[in-house]
């Protein structure tokens, strides 16, 4: 029935057509299942809860606190070393104290690791 090079090409075309039809059908099944499961999960979530930190852990930080010249020089040198650029290519406009009480140390370390991974 399928003999020679023409037969081999016909078999290959028929097989590839079946493969793509089956893969397309599986993709449609996955999309429909995602929509069905998404609808059921959407019904379960009915109420949003806003979480606020307790007032006792929030410390007041002075926004206009003046930073010493040595500290500015140290931060400028650290940024220059991190960016691998000379100090004349950028200028530090303001330095604000980091509010550590609003996030946990675990979250801060996780964010730091994520930033280091992007390099």
Is 63's pLDDT higher than 50?
no
Q: What is the DSSP string of the chain?
A: ---HHHHHHHHHHHHHHHHHHHHHHHHHHHHHHHHHHHHHHHHH----------GGG-----TTPPPPHHHHHHHHHHHHHHHT--GGG----------GGGS-HHHHHHHHHHHHHT-
Would you put residue 4 in left (φ > 0), alpha (ψ -120 to 50) or beta? left
Instruction: Please give the residue range of the domain that contains residue 107.
Output: 55-117
Whether 4 and 24 share a structural domain: yes
State how far the Cα of 47 lies from the Cα of 67, in Å rounded to an integer.
Answer: 45
Same domain, 62 and 30: no
Report the chain's C-alpha Rg in angstroms: 30
pTM of the model: 0.33
34 plus 70 within the same structural domain = no
Condensed to tens digits (0 to 9), the pLDDT of residues 88-116 reads 777 777 777 666 567 778 888 888 888 88
- Please state, rounded to an integer, the average pLDDT across all residues of the chain: 76
**For 48, what's the count of Cα atoms within 13 Å in the CB-facing half-sphere?**
2
Based on the fold, state whether residues 42 and 59 are members of the same structural domain: no
Residues 82 and 110 in one domain: yes
**Same-domain check for residues 66 and 105:** yes
Specify whether 78 is located in the same domain as 109: yes
Name the nearest CA neighbour of 59 among 105, 15, 97: 97
pLDDT digits (tens, 9 = 90+) for 11-39: 999 999 999 999 999 999 998 888 888 77
**Residue 39 region, left (φ>0) first, then alpha (ψ -120 to 50), else beta?**
alpha
Claim to verify: residue 33 and residue 62 sit in the same structural domain: no
């Amino acid at each position: 029935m399928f003999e020679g090079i023409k037969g081999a090409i016909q078999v290959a075309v028929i097989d590839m057509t079946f493969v793509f039809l089956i893969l397309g059908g599986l993709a449609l099944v996955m999309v429909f299942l995602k929509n069905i499961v998404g609808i059921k999960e959407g019904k379960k979530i009915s109420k949003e809860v806003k979480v606020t930190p307790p007032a006792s852990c929030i410390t007041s930080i002075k926004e206009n606190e003046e930073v010493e010249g040595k500290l500015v020089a140290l931060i400028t040198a650290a940024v220059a070393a991190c960016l691998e650029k000379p100090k004349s290519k950028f200028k530090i406009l303001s330095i604000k104290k980091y509010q550590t009480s609003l996030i946990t140390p675990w979250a801060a370390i996780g964010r730091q690791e994520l930033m280091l991974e992007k390099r």
